[in-house]
Each structure stands twice: as structure tokens, then as C-alpha cells.
Structure 1
Amino acid sequence: MSTSQLTTVTILETSDVHGHFFPTDYRSSADLPLGLAKLATLIDKERSVNPSLLLIDNGDFLQGTPFMYHYAKYDGEGIHPAAQALNTLRYDAVVFGNHEFNYGLKLLHKAVDDSACPWLSANIVGATDGQPAFGSPYRIFTTSEGVRIAVLGVTTHYIPHWEEPANIEGLVFQDALKAAQRWVDHIRATEQPDAVVVSYHGGFERDLMTGEPTEPLTGENQGWEIAARLVGVDVLLTGHQHRQIAADLNGVAVVQPGSAGQAMGKVELAFQRNEVGDWQLCGKAVQLLHVDESVQADIQLLAMFTQAEERTQTWLDQPIGTTEGDMSILDPHQARQGDHSFTEFVNKVQMEMTNTDISCAAIFTNEARGFGEMITMRDVVSNYIYPNTLKVVRLTGRDVREALEQNARYFTLNDSKDGVEVSAAYLEPKPQHFNYDMWEGIEYELDIRRSAGSRVVKLLRNGEPLASDAVCDVVMNSYRAGGGGNFDMLKDKPIVREIPTDMTEILANYILDKKVIRSTCDYNWKVLF
């Protein structure tokens, strides 16, 4: 067969970059194997071989670093840095992630309007007209050889469970699986492309090998269903879970490139001409391109954002207060087994800001280190990495107990000297330390030696047992108040008060006002094992 009758189309996918343009985690000055500037080097290398490749971002591009936070809250001028990066690297399309909405619709629309490439979403529609809210559900891309590739964008429809209502006002998030099938059918019937790519900001709810559920089937992740049951899909680009996947599922090429620019997905589609001269898909290959220690950052991309990055770094290193006593987190695992001065501080700020006497908060990551003697903005944003707001939720004593039982599932027993470890469900498919809360304003004990669902062996309020029908107002972050993290007992409860200010700002302003933060710990709770 003549080589003129064969051609290959390359698709590159980034996802969950989370504002990591520079190769840093903002906790130190170390040059790390991550970030869009290093992915840019890989993109250039791939383009040198195939100039006509398709470059797709699968969402969660606008939020996740102090750089993006500083732009959203303090700079806000000129072209949105996300759009600058997308335009410079010549992205062909972007899909909306759930974190795109964190800073509100005005800033999101700015990023979309500033971008030269389309932002795709088939299942985010207007509440009044039911039409795609951002214009383009899909795009057809035609290569120089005449191969026509359809790229459809869909986004996890679970966003209303997490996001501030004001940030998604006027939008409806349709079921991603149903919307994808409806639009794939439309594309196949009307466009007759040579291949269909679904770029889905969502992950996999089942094991790719066995099909067994790996999480509660809430609808947050529908990747397995899309690949296994939808007709007419050739490639499924995924994200959201921060996993690194390159596989075949039911004949569909699936890929997911992790997070923070640590890797990029690569899909190669082989086509040959059939007897009537049309292109026919005849082969697929998927792989991950990793940013290893040998990959250098693209100097030109870094130069575009040097001044903005310098402003961010200056802002991060501004001292805003001091501590009196130890508020450092030496071992996050230990800090989650008994009351700690840092989590008590966060809870007390939440209670004071909302005039509430019960609070819950999490140590979001194992990189959280609490506060040293001098507190800077870097310390605040390194420990509290999400742009959550606060909500006061009215619960019953039964709801509180059920929430604590859910927290207790974070732990499981082991035979090591530690005696207790993090449950696999909180480590796979990605670490979910942010879904374990520590409470203030009640006294409680969790006994991990008991079976799940019966581990709360002590629950007191003001020294008395907390009755099941008692009414409690509890302050928590907006993600948890929406039931995020499988806390269904908190979902749809009455909202007593809301503080529409990012918690990072609340903490920073609190420290700036007090100047000296005294370390305290009342040891109101502990884990038994």
C-alpha cells in the first residue's frame, strides 16, 4: 500500500495544570519536574515531528497556584495569563474544568474571551434557553491530508455540589454521559468525521480492568461509562482525578495526564484510505510523555510572566504576623490523629468569623506545614490551598455523628508500630486528605478498632452527650457544605449564614489584625487504635 494512503494524526492532551506555569510548588525555590513551561518544551519537540498535531487542554487551568490567585484577586488587568499561555502555545481547544468557576463568571468569561482557541462544553447550558452556555459544544479539525477529527467537550456535572451558587448563576450542568451520547450521535450523523474525540473533565468511577466500582456512583466521574457504553467514541481524554492513565477501554483509547504539568497525554490515530478514497481509522496508540529531570522549561514562556511572577513572589513573602508557641505541623499523619494547634486555629477563626461555636476543617495535603515563628502569605496559601468560602449549616446531632463516622473511614488498622494508616479509598485514585475533617466545639473519640459506621465512641457538647435530635449550627468550607467528599448527610441542609470571602483572605486578614497568634490546643478529640 502506498504511503500516500496512510497518515497519522497526533493529539496531545494537558489537564489539571492548575495554574502551574512555573516549575515550582511555591513552597520553596526548587526547580521541580512540573509546570506548563516544561510541558511547552515537550510540545515543541512533538511539533517538530508533526507540525499539524492537535493540542487540547482538558480543564482546571485557571486555579491552583498563588500565581493565579494573585492575578484573580489583585492584578486582574490585561490579557488573562491563562489565555496568554493558551495563545502562545497554540492550543486548538480547551474544556471547562470544575475549578474554572472558582473565581466567578466575570473572570472566567475574560479568560474565554481572551483566548484565541474555543472553550468547549456540550453539557453546560443556559438556564433559560438550554443552549450551550459558552457557544461551542464541539469543533471539527481537518488535517492537511483531509482527515476530519471531531473534538467534543464535556465536564463533570457534579459542579453544583461544590461551587458557590453565585459563581455558576444562570448555568445548568447536564448529565455528562447523556449529553456526550446525544452530541456524539449528532456529530456522527451531521458531520461524518473520520474520528470522534471526547474530552471529558472527569475521571473513572470503575476499575478499568474489572469494571468494579472504585467510588460511590454519584455521577462525579463517568469515564468508564463513557468509554464502555457510548457508541461512536474513538478517543476519551480525561482528567479531574489527577491520575496518570494510558490505556484501551472497550476499544476506546483513553488517557489522563496527572496534574500540575507533570505529564502530557499523547494519542496517535492511524488512518488509511478505503476503496472509495475516504479515510478510515485503522489503529490507535496512547502514551504519557513525562516531565523528567532532563526537561528544561521554555524560556520564552517563562519570560512572558516574569513580572507577574515576581509580584506574586513578593506578595507571598510579606510577613503578616508572628506566632507565640508552636503551630508547626511536623507530621500531618500524626496531626490527624489528635487535636493540633494549627487545625484548632483554623477552626477558631472560622467560628469567630461566623459567630458559631462548632467548626470543622481539614489539613488539605501532606505538604501542609502549619506556621513557624514568622507567618507570611506563602504560609497561608501553602496550608490553605483552595479558594473555599465559609457556610454555617444547621445540623442535628445525628448528622454530626454520621459526619464523624464518615471521617473515621479515613483510617484503617495496620500491623506496624504506628498501628493506623490512611485507608486505600483516601489514597486512590488520588490522595483525598482534604476529605478528613477535624472538629472543634465538641468532644469526640474515634475508635478505629471498631467496624466502620460504629467508630464514634464519644460525642459530647458542653460536657453532655450530644442528642440525636439536638440542633447544631456548624461552620465549614463551602465544598463540604455541599456534601463534597461523600458527606451526603451535610448536603441540602439549611444554610444559616454565608461568608462570601475566600478563606485564605479571611485567615490573612485575621493574622494581619491580631499580629500575634497564640498557639492553643484543648485536645477535644482523638483517634483510638
Structure 2
Amino acid sequence: MVNTSTLKIIYTSDVHGNAMPITYGTNKHSDLGLAKYATIVKKIREQYENVLVLDNGDLIQGTPLMTHYVKAHSDKENPMIGIMNRIGIDAGVIGNHEFNFGKEILADAISESTYPWLSANLVNEQGDPYFGKPYIMKTLPNGVRVAVVGVTTHYIPNWESPGNIEGIHFKDALMTLQYWVDHIRKEEKPDLLIASYHGGLERDMETGEPTESLTGENQGYAMCLEIEGIDVLLTGHQHRVLTGTVNGVLVAQPGNNGIMYGDIDIQFEQKESKWVIKEKEAAIYPVGDVPADKEILQYMEELENSTQNWLDQPIGYIDGDMRISDPFQARVSKHPFVQFIQQVQMEASGANISVTALLNNEAKGFNQTITMRDVVSNYIYPNTLVVLELSGMDIKQALEKTAEYFVLDDQNNISVNPTYITPKAQHYNYDMWEGINYTIDVAKPIGERIMHVSFQGEALNDHETYHVVMNNYRATGGGNYHMFRNKPVVKEIQKDMVELIHAYFEKHKTVKAEVIPNFHIRGV
């Protein structure tokens, strides 16, 4: 009789601060979040003897709950960590958004965790893992030995504020994983090796065709192809929902916001006293309508009530209409909400040119009475502002980059370039500019679309320099705006945009909804 065994692996990725089953922008119940996931984990543990529970990063940032925690309650335990401790996960991986609130918040979160954080390629000056362990070993009751090694996209310095990552070196994720897989196979001799990678797939799993620019941000496909010894690759970062196999490696990705989770089954059989993998399969399941865990709800009650009270505070008023009914049209034609964000940035920085984006298609703009709920549901990232000194040529190159957002469809209508929609929605990488006038001609080839750029009534001079305010993500070149990298920093505004918008309403209690039509987008 053949001795067999099954291991159930369940994991989350890109939870982004979603603890409670609620969408804060609408304040309505939603089938998402760790409170529901906790119920699922308990049920799975009741059904299976061998269960491994992991988180793949981007855990502690992304909701008003976490923004409020950092601003008002950071002296208490990080709620996302408190929940994961209560769930009893086996390990977590560092994600890029773990750094958004600064090193102190992250350090506190790690110290509060009862589980290890893994990231083999984020190292200190001596080359040792900055956040503790590169990998863990788990031995199941029947003797099956499981290795879990964690790596993080090394592209983080292209996005993150330098102060938030000071002293951390970001080694190539693929090369580092290669080293540790070889080491683990040689020294630990596991029966199963899991790579948990806060990064995604840069190519289609079936065809191998590139699905994005091959910048190194996502290396999952290359990891499967080039590294021998990985049995399972858990991915994230792209917010995709996928399962499949690449070069014999089982791959999964469970979306984002705690809406779904990854479920992997590994079947072993014993051959000559050694456990070998007989079968492996992956599925992605929604958390669905299961009830939220009562212990988690009780644990969250005080912070949740405080968050709700904070979100419902009226902070200002709008004279006119600043609501967004069509996010595409709000990008094609100047919208009062976009104008408002530009005004906030320019007043806070003193710069006379500003760059901003409509961050996602869920932004609804502002009603007549503004609450903090309106602010945080429209401005979802904890971005600070940076003023860069840019040449006129830099500005024109950035305009050409942003013009790539548009294409002409089969009927010659202006539409969104599909690469900004799949494999990951990237509407936040289309910028609108204030303080200059310009035209985008979508009928022209990419790289030749910008026309008639002027500043204060005169043509923009390629060789003169201008002060431009933008968020810290873009200022480091995030979104492949390479022309911004390593440019002189004139000023940094350390308050994040939620604080700056709040302060703007404190100074200007009523804001008029208006537009300065400084850009034009045309097709055929």
C-alpha cells in the first residue's frame, strides 16, 4: 500500500488594508477582507490536517482604516498584523506598499508579528536579509519537509520616497531567488519548495509573449523558466486572478483587496522512505458570503468606530458640480475635480506647473458637502509631493509618455490603450498637466503626439528649466516616466495629499468648481 499525504496551502496577496467587509467610499457591506478570510481559514483547518497559511505582501496600506490608524492610532498594534496573528499565518512577504507609511510603521508591524516576514533580496549594507529570514522550513506531522522562500520586486526604488527605504538594498529578485533555491535544495533537501514572490508575470503563461514592458518589475515567468527547483510560485503585485503552469511550476495569483484567496493542493506519495510530489493544483476562490469572524470583529470594533467617525467629519463645501460620472471623459477633457487637485498641489508647493492623475475609475469626485470619506475614497494613496527642476525637453518627453494612454479604435474614436487596462489597470499612469497649454493628437504615432506646448503665453523652451510639482511616486520615475529620475529636487512637501486636501478646505471653506481648459485631445 502506497503511503500518501496532502498539503493544503492557502494564501492572500495585495490585501491592501482590507480588514473589514466594507467599502469605505460607499460605506456599504462588501464580500471582502480578512475578517471573512479568518472564517475560511478556520474551516479549512478543521477539514485538513496539513495546512500552510501565507501572505504575499502589500498588507498594511490601502484603506481609510489604515490611513486613520497611522494618523491617529499608531501607538497601538497595527490592526492588519493583529488580525494575521489571530489567523495564525505561517509567514508573510514584504510588498512594495509596505514602505508607504515609512520605515517606523513597517518596523513596528514586523516587531508585532508572531510570524516571520520573508524577503531574501532586500538586504542591509552587509548583504544580509534586512527583514530577518530569507526562507523558512516547515516539517509536517508525517515528516514532509516544506521550504518557503520569499522575494520582493526590486523595482521599489523607482517608486518609493528615498527616506522610506534608506539603508535597504534591493537586489535582483530573480538572481537572488536562484541563489536561495540552489542553497535550499542543497542544504535543506525539502520535499516541496514554494517561492512566494511579491511580483507578477511579465509574459503570457501559455504563449510566452510579453504582456508588459520588460523592466524587471515582474519576473515570475523568467523565474519559472530559468530557475530549477521551484515547485510552486505564489505571485501578486499585479492584482490579477490566475492559475496555471509554466515549465512545470505551478503558478497562482489571487487578485487584490481580500476579495479572493489562493488555494493550492499538493499530493505526496512515499517512495523508498522519501516523499515525492504526485500531483499539484491551484484554484482561486472568492471569500464570498461567509460570515465574518466574531473574534476579529470584536478586535476591530474600537478602531473601526473611530475610523467611521473620522470619515464622516464635514471639512468643506463645493460651489458647483465636482462629481465624476465618466472617468474617461474626466481624462479627455479638463474636469473640475482634476483642476481642484492641481490647485491643491500648486498652493502647497509654490510651483507654477503641476502634474496629477485621476487615480482609478472608482473616483467619484466631490458632492456639495465634503467629508474625509470623500477625500480618502478619491485620493487612495498616501502620496507626498515633490517639486522637480525639469527642462522643457523633459516636460515634452513626459507629455509624450502620458499621450500613450490613448489609441484610436476601429471607428477612429479615442479610447484607452489596452496596455493600460490589462494585465493590470494603470489609469494612474495617465497624467494631466496644469500651468502649461498643450495638445495631444492621438492620430499621430506614439512619440510624436504632442503639439503646441506653451508656458505663460510663449512656446516651451527645450533648454530652459521649470519647477514642476508631482507626487513622490511619479517624481522617482514611477510608471516608466524615466525622464524624471535623478532630476534636481527643489522642494519636498512631507504631508501626504489627504492632509493637504484637508488643509486646503480649512483655508478655503468653500471651493468653486471650475476649469482652466489648458489641454486639448483630438483624434482624426
Note whether the superposition's TM-score is higher than 0.5. Answer: yes
Say which of 311, 328, 332 aligns to 2:327.
Answer: 332
Instruction: Give 1:53-68 correspondences, 5 Å limit.
Output: 53-68=51-66
Distance 1:508 1:161 in 2: 28
Give the letter aligned to residue 17 of structure 1.
Answer: V
Are 1:253 and 1:267, in contact at CA under 8 Å, matched by a contact in 2?
no
1:442 equivalent to 2:439? Answer no
Q: SS of 1:425's equivalent?
A: helix
Structure 1 residue 225 displacement after superposition: 0.8
> In the alignment, what sits opposite 2:114?
116
Instruction: Give 1:126-141 correspondences, 5 Å limit.
Output: 126=124, 128-141=125-138
Q: Answer with 235-244 or 206-215: which moved more.
A: 206-215
> In the alignment, what sits opposite 1:459?
453
Structure 1 residue 68 displacement after superposition: 0.7
Say which of 227, 247, 268 aligns to 1:230.
Answer: 227
Structure 1 residue 94 displacement after superposition: 0.3
CA offsets 1:225-265 (integer angstroms, 9 cap, x no match): 11111111000000000000111111001000000011111
1:348 equivalent to 2:346? Answer no
Give the TM-score of the pair, scaled to structure 1.
0.97
Gaps of 5+ in 2: none
> In the alignment, what sits opposite 1:170?
167
1:145 equivalent to 2:142? Answer yes
> In the alignment, what sits opposite 2:373?
378
Structure 1 residue 415 displacement after superposition: 4.2
> In the alignment, what sits opposite 1:204?
201
Distance 1:501 1:7 in 2: 53
Distance 2:277 2:45 in 1: 22
> In the alignment, what sits opposite 1:69?
67
Distance 2:78 2:442 in 1: 48
Distance 2:449 2:144 in 1: 59
RMSD: 1.2
CA offsets 1:71-99 (integer angstroms, 9 cap, x no match): 11111123221221111101000000000
Structure 1 residue 511 displacement after superposition: 1.0
Distance 1:70 1:458 in 2: 44
Q: 1:51 to 1:114 in 2, by over 3 A?
A: farther
Q: SS of 1:310's equivalent?
A: helix
Structure 1 residue 527 displacement after superposition: 1.1
CA offsets 1:441-472 (integer angstroms, 9 cap, x no match): 00011111111111112211112211221211
Distance 2:27 2:342 in 1: 30
> In the alignment, what sits opposite 2:253?
256
Give the TM-score of the pair, scaled to structure 2.
0.98
CA offsets 1:37-67 (integer angstroms, 9 cap, x no match): 2222222222121143000000000000010
Are 1:324 and 1:373, in contact at CA under 8 Å, matched by a contact in 2?
yes
Distance 1:448 1:302 in 2: 50
1:419 equivalent to 2:413? Answer yes
> In the alignment, what sits opposite 1:305?
300
> In the alignment, what sits opposite 1:268?
265
Distance 1:448 1:75 in 2: 48
Instruction: Give 1:387-402 correspondences, 5 Å limit.
Output: 387-402=382-397
Structure 1 residue 330 displacement after superposition: 1.6
Distance 2:224 2:286 in 1: 24
Gaps of 5+ in 1: none
Say which of 3, 7, 10 aligns to 2:8.
Answer: 10
Instruction: Give 1:186-197 correspondences, 5 Å limit.
Output: 186-197=183-194
Q: SS of 1:287's equivalent?
A: strand
1:492 equivalent to 2:486? Answer yes
Give the letter aligned to residue 120 of structure 1.
Answer: L
Are 2:135 and 2:148, in contact at CA under 8 Å, matched by a contact in 1?
yes
Say which of 260, 275, 278 aligns to 1:279.
Answer: 275
Give the letter aligned to residue 467 of structure 2.
Answer: D
CA offsets 1:261-287 (integer angstroms, 9 cap, x no match): 111111111111112x11112211111
Distance 1:334 1:366 in 2: 11
Structure 1 residue 322 displacement after superposition: 0.7
Give the letter aligned to residue 362 of structure 1.
Answer: A
Structure 1 residue 519 displacement after superposition: 1.9
Structure 1 residue 120 displacement after superposition: 0.8
Distance 2:436 2:283 in 1: 50
CA offsets 1:81-128 (integer angstroms, 9 cap, x no match): 1221111101000000000011111111111111111011101111x2
Q: After TM superposition, which residue ranges in structure 1, 4 or more long, deviate above 4 angstroms?
A: none
1:84 equivalent to 2:82? Answer yes
Structure 1 residue 28 displacement after superposition: 1.3
Distance 1:51 1:423 in 2: 48
Distance 1:368 1:135 in 2: 38
Q: SS of 1:449's equivalent?
A: coil
Q: SS of 1:497's equivalent?
A: strand
Q: Aligned pairs, how many?
A: 523
Distance 1:485 1:191 in 2: 39
Q: SS of 2:23's equivalent?
A: coil
